[in-house]
């Protein structure tokens, strides 16, 4: 594996940004006269940050990573000059209102009309709140999530003291509906987790069908849309598009986790949880004799598990949504770029000799491998291809999947494939070059 390092021009830019930012000082004072130790500290930091993969570059298509939108980072930096705390209106009088407005826009995008919602530190915490509410409402019942769901659901169930079981996935990487129904029929299920954009393969569960089953068997439905939720902007029948039905059914979910720090162009530290029934707010009731004096409105801290939360996160999100509204032509244009890049790459790989596409992408994650017969042979070829791509400047990722699902000789149970997350619209400009590189490698 190659050592992470930014290209020299990006390191130079980090040094320049350091020189530009420090003199901005604080809200009360410009920082004209900086002690040498402060500038030295930021220069040393620029060098250390140079030991990163180039997340901003289109040739980085590995993990779910990209720098935030310029409006988001500028908005975050501005609000950091105050460093408000969205625990309560006392600590974040401006930013707590911005949070409400921003989460309401996200809830409307996901067809949640009346809702109780707030930002969280991450998708993990958003899912934790959902499963905590689920366990509080059905303390003796089981939480079900799919084999392809994020590992967090099993672990969070443990944290909140809920029983958890895993439902098998189909060969298509989604929740197996027949297996789900069979388990629901057996009884004792309180909550089903559907995934809208799985972390590994980026596949979308049939939320509409899962919602029907939850209704029939009286279970709650939680949708983990941490990765794929913002693709709702493309679920309108337009081109490029995504399957409409799972997104149209989001209004039937009891709760939804979505991560603005993934496809919402935000810096890390920005997840979001949405509950359809505002009455679940009663479960959060607690005494805090130190806060909640400045407003009779429900303070964000009264309806969230976290106490201190960054007001700057809310400010950055609010400003981004003002610049790029939640429409196909606004933030949707970023998702459309990502989706188009994924469709194009999948089409190119399908046409290449010697390479096999794992699945047609539902969103913007594309996985493939060298054509082969055995799981061990294909895995070894993945390792070689990964290194060859890295030598040519391509940063991709790997994913372990079931050998049986890929119809390979299962001389080992799992097989390693190559995985790319095409989150940046700029990927559309490089996927043909990537496919050409793959053709060369054969």
Ligand X SMILES: Cc1ncc(COP(=O)(O)O)c(C=O)c1O
Binding site for ligand X (CB under 6 A): 64, 122-124, 127, 150, 152, 195, 197, 199, 224, 226-227, 259, 271
Q: Least separation, in Å, of the C-beta of 270 and ligand X?
A: 9
C-beta of residue 123 within 8 angstroms of C-beta of residue 259: yes
Q: Least separation, in Å, of the C-beta of 242 and ligand X?
A: 15
Q: Least separation, in Å, of the C-beta of 123 and ligand X?
A: 3
Q: Least separation, in Å, of the C-beta of 72 and ligand X?
A: 16
In the beta sheet, which residues pair with residue 271?
120
Angle in degrees, CA 421, 426, 429, rounded to 5:
105
* C-alpha to C-alpha distance for 369 and 8, rounded to whole angstroms: 32
C-beta of residue 149 within 8 angstroms of C-beta of residue 184: no
Q: Least separation, in Å, of the C-beta of 201 and ligand X?
A: 11
Q: Least separation, in Å, of the C-beta of 227 and ligand X?
A: 4
Task: Find, among 438, 415, 437, 401, the residue nearest to 202 by Cα.
Answer: 401
C-beta of residue 321 within 8 angstroms of C-beta of residue 331: yes
Distances (CA, A) of 153 to 16, 121, 352, 365, 427: 42, 16, 37, 21, 31
373-387 as b/e, with b when 16 or more CB fall inside 10 Å?
eebbebbebbeebbe
In this complex, which beta carbon is closest to ligand X, that of residue 18 or of residue 272? 272
In this complex, which beta carbon is closest to ligand X, that of residue 199 or of residue 379? 199
C-beta of residue 120 within 8 angstroms of C-beta of residue 317: no
* C-alpha to C-alpha distance for 132 and 161, rounded to whole angstroms: 9
In this complex, which beta carbon is closest to ligand X, that of residue 263 or of residue 299? 263
DSSP assigned state of 336: H
Distances (CA, A) of 64 to 27, 184, 332: 34, 33, 18
Q: Least separation, in Å, of the C-beta of 10 and ligand X?
A: 24
CA atoms within 13 A on the CB side of 269: 16
In this complex, which beta carbon is closest to ligand X, that of residue 64 or of residue 336? 64
In this complex, which beta carbon is closest to ligand X, that of residue 123 or of residue 337? 123
In this complex, which beta carbon is closest to ligand X, that of residue 150 or of residue 395? 150
Query: Residue 161: what are its φ and ψ, rounded to 5°?
Result: 75, 30
Q: Least separation, in Å, of the C-beta of 148 and ligand X?
A: 9
In this complex, which beta carbon is closest to ligand X, that of residue 235 or of residue 375? 235
Task: Find, among 157, 201, 193, the residue nearest to 175 by Cα.
Answer: 193
The residue number with the shortest CB distance to ligand X is 123
Contacts of 138 (CB under 8 A, 6+ apart): 190, 191, 220
Task: Find, among 336, 365, 164, the residue nearest to 241 by Cα.
Answer: 336
The two structure tokens encoding residue 223: 């949708």
* C-alpha to C-alpha distance for 382 and 372, rounded to whole angstroms: 11
Q: Least separation, in Å, of the C-beta of 430 and ligand X?
A: 23
In this complex, which beta carbon is closest to ligand X, that of residue 226 or of residue 273? 226
Q: Least separation, in Å, of the C-beta of 228 and ligand X?
A: 7
C-beta of residue 203 within 8 angstroms of C-beta of residue 174: yes
Q: Least separation, in Å, of the C-beta of 41 and ligand X?
A: 29
In this complex, which beta carbon is closest to ligand X, that of residue 270 or of residue 349? 270
Contacts of 178 (CB under 8 A, 6+ apart): none
In this complex, which beta carbon is closest to ligand X, that of residue 176 or of residue 408? 176
In this complex, which beta carbon is closest to ligand X, that of residue 99 or of residue 224? 224
Angle in degrees, CA 180, 181, 187, rounded to 5:
95
* C-alpha to C-alpha distance for 393 and 37, rounded to whole angstroms: 36
Q: Least separation, in Å, of the C-beta of 195 and ligand X?
A: 6
In this complex, which beta carbon is closest to ligand X, that of residue 22 or of residue 121? 121
């Amino acid at each position: 594996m190659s050592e992470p390092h930014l290209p020299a021009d990006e390191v130079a830019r980090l040094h320049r940004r350091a020189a530009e930012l420090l003199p901005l000082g604080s809200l009360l004072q410009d920082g004209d006269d900086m002690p040498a130790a402060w500038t030295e500290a930021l220069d040393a930091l620029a060098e250390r940050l140079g030991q990163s993969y180039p997340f901003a570059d289109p040739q980085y298509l590995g993990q779910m990573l990209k720098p935030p939108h310029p409006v988001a980072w500028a908005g975050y930096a501005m609000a950091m000059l105050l460093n408000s705390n969205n625990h309560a209106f006392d600590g974040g009088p401006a930013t707590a209102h911005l949070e409400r407005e921003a989460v309401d826009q996200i809830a409307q995008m996901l067809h949640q009309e009346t809702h109780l919602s707030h930002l969280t530190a991450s998708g993990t915490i958003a899912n934790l709140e959902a499963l905590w509410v689920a366990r509080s409402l059905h303390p003796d019942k089981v939480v079900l999530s799919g084999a392809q769901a994020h590992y967090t659901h099993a672990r969070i169930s443990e944290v909140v003291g809920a029983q958890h079981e895993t439902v098998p996935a189909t060969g298509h990487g989604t929740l197996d509906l027949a297996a789900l129904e069979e388990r629901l029929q057996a009884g004792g299920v309180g909550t089903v987790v559907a995934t809208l954009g799985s972390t590994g393969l980026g596949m979308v569960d049939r939320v509409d069908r899962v919602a029907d089953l939850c209704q029939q068997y009286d279970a709650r439905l939680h949708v983990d849309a941490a990765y794929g939720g913002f693709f709702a902007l493309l679920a309108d029948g337009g081109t490029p598009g995504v399957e409409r039905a799972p997104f149209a059914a989001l209004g039937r979910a009891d709760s939804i986790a979505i991560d603005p720090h993934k496809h919402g162009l935000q810096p890390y530290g920005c997840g979001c949880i949405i509950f359809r029934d505002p009455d679940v707010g009663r479960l959060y009731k607690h005494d805090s004799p130190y806060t909640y004096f400045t407003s009779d409105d429900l303070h964000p801290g009264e309806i969230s598990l976290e106490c201190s939360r960054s007001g700057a996160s809310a400010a950055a999100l609010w400003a981004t949504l003002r610049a790029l509204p939640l429409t196909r032509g606004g933030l949707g244009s970023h998702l459309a770029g990502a989706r188009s890049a994924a469709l194009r790459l999948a089409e190119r790989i399908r046409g290449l000799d010697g390479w096999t596409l794992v699945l047609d992408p539902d969103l913007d994650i594309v996985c493939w491998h060298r054509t082969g017969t055995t799981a061990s042979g294909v895995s070894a070829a993945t390792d070689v291809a990964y290194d060859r791509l890295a030598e040519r400047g391509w940063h991709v990722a790997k994913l372990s999947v079931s050998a049986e699902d890929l119809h390979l000789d299962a001389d080992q149970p799992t097989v390693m494939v190559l995985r790319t997350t095409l989150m940046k619209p700029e990927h559309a400009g490089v996927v043909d070059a990537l496919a050409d590189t793959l053709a060369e490698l054969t």
